[in-house]
Amino acid sequence: MAAVFSVVASVIVGHSYSGAAKILPPTPPQITRIDSIKKSKTKYDLQIYFSVASTGNRTSKASLISTLVSASGKRCSANVGKQSCTIRGFSKNTTVNISAKSKNVGGYGLPSSIVRYQVGSSSWTIASRAPATATKVVLRPYSEFVPSSYSSKSPAPLVIALHGYSSSAKQQESYINFKAVAEQRGFILVSPDGTVDATGNQFWNATEVCCNFFSEVDDDAYLISILDDMESKYSIDRQRIYFVGHSNGGFMSYRMACKHSDRIAAIVSLAGATFLNSSDCAAKNPVSVLQIHGTSDATILYNGGAILGKQYPSATASTAQWATFNRCSNNATPRADKLDLVTTIAGSETSITSWN
C-alpha cells in the first residue's frame, strides 16, 4: 500500500546544513518578479524581486550580506533579509536586461540568469538560451556505492540520490553522508550529476519551474538509463527502487515518480515540489512519497511560490496531490509524535502529517 508523508520542520531556515566547511561565494539568486511603477507619463521605476540562492555549495544563508541588482547600467542593492530593490528612471517601452548576484563573506557569487524586460509591461523573458541538446541519451559517469553485505543471491534495494541546483553529487554526499547509511541499511547507492548550464551550475530538467533555465535535457531518459545499467550489473530488487532529491533534485524525484511510476516504489523530496497542475503528472501506479520541508525556507517556499514567473505548489499541495494519485484517505492525519531533525535546536521541532 502506498503512503504519503509530509514532514514539516517549522524552524528550519532555508537549505542550510551545519558544519565547519569553508564559506564559499553564494550561488546565483533568481529573479522572480518585476513591477513597473509609473512616475510620470513617460518615466517608470522598476521594483525587482528575487529569491536568494540555495545553500547546496556549503555557503551559509546567515552569511549573506547583500544582493546587487543591475538593469542596463543602473543598479540597486538589497541587504540581507530583503528580497527586492528599486531602480529609478526608465523610459516607457525601453527594453532592459536585468540580472542579480549575491554577496557573502566569501565574496560575490555568479550572476543570475539575465531577464529581458520591457518597461511598463507585465511580460518578461530570459534573454538568451543555449541551443537544446540532442535527445540521444549519453550515459554520463555517475558514482555508485555497494555495501559490503551485498550478494548477487539476494536482490538489494537501490537508492538514486539527486543533488540540488548548483550543487553536485560530491557536495550532497558531504552533508548527507548517504554512504554510511547505505552500508548500515544494505542498499546500493547511486549519485549522478546533472548537466551544467550556461552559468556553470549543475541542474536537473525537472518541472516547468525548475531548473532548465538555459537548455533542454532529457534527464528522464538519462536517469532511466542509469537504472537499466545498474540492473544489468547488480541484483536489484525491482520492488525497492527509490529516488531521494534535495531542492531541484526533489523536483526531479517527483518528475520521475510521475513519468516512471512503473519503475519506482517511493521518493523523498527535501524542499522540492511536484507539478503545479496534476494533469501534468501521468502516474499510473501508486508511489509512496515523503516530503520534508522547512516552513521558513526562503528559496523553495513552503507555501508555494514562483521562479522566473512560473508557479510551483506548496509542500502540502504536493503531498495532497500524491495522496489523491495513491488513492489514500482524503483526510490528512497529523501524528502526535514529532522528530528532532535539527541537532542544533533543542527539542523535537518537526511535525508529521500522513495519508494512508
Report pLDDT digits (tens) over 270-290: 999 999 999 999 899 999 999
Tell me how far apart the alpha carbons of residues 130 and 128 are, in angstroms, rounded to a whole number. 7
Residues 121 and 141 placed together within one structural domain of the fold: no
- Using DSSP, state whether 24 is helix, strand or coil: coil
- CA dihedral over 161, 166, 168, 173, signed as positive or negative: negative
The pLDDT assigned to 23 comes to 53
What is the pTM for the complete model shown?
0.67
The verdict on 194 and 332 lying in the same domain is yes
Q: Is residue 312 part of a domain?
A: yes
- Domain assignment present for residue 330? The answer is yes
Phi, psi of 326 (to 5 degrees): -85, 0
Using one digit for the tens of pLDDT, what is the confidence trace for 64-107? Answer: 788 999 998 899 999 988 889 999 999 998 989 888 888 887 77
CATH code of the domain covering residue 65: 2.60.40.10
Assign 77 to helix, strand or coil: strand
User: pLDDT tens digit string along 164-201?
Assistant: 999 999 999 998 999 999 999 999 999 999 988 767 78
Instruction: Say whether both 115 and 219 belong to one domain.
Output: no
* pLDDT score for 128: 43
Residue 22 lies in a domain: no
Domain span holding position 104: 30-126
Residue 214 has pLDDT above 70, yes or no: no
CATH number at residue 225: 3.40.50.1820
Is residue 21 included in any domain, yes or no?
Answer: no
Q: Check whether 52 has a pLDDT greater than 90.
A: no
Residues 271 and 347 in one domain: yes
Q: In the listed set 111, 126, 141, which residue is the last one of a domain according to the structure?
A: 126
Torsion of CA 200, 221, 259, 293, to 10 degrees: -30
| Structural domain count of the chain | 2
Label residue 273 exposed, middle or buried (CB < 10 Å: 0-12, 13-18, 19+). Answer: buried
Same domain, 10 and 36: no
| pLDDT value, residue 212 | 80
Considering the domain architecture, whether residues 330 and 199 belong to the same structural domain is answered as yes
Q: Do β-strands 30-38 and 74-79 pair in parallel, antiparallel, or remain unpaired?
A: unpaired
- Both 250 and 338 in one domain: the answer is yes
Q: pLDDT-derived band of residue 14, with 50, 70 and 90 as boundaries?
A: very low
* CA-based nearest residue to 197, from 183, 217, 177, 182: 217
- The whole-number pLDDT of residue 112 equals 78
Per-residue pLDDT band for 15 (boundaries 50, 70, 90) equals very low
Burial class (CB in 10 A: 0-12, 13-18, 19+), 215: middle
pLDDT top residue among 140 and 278: 278
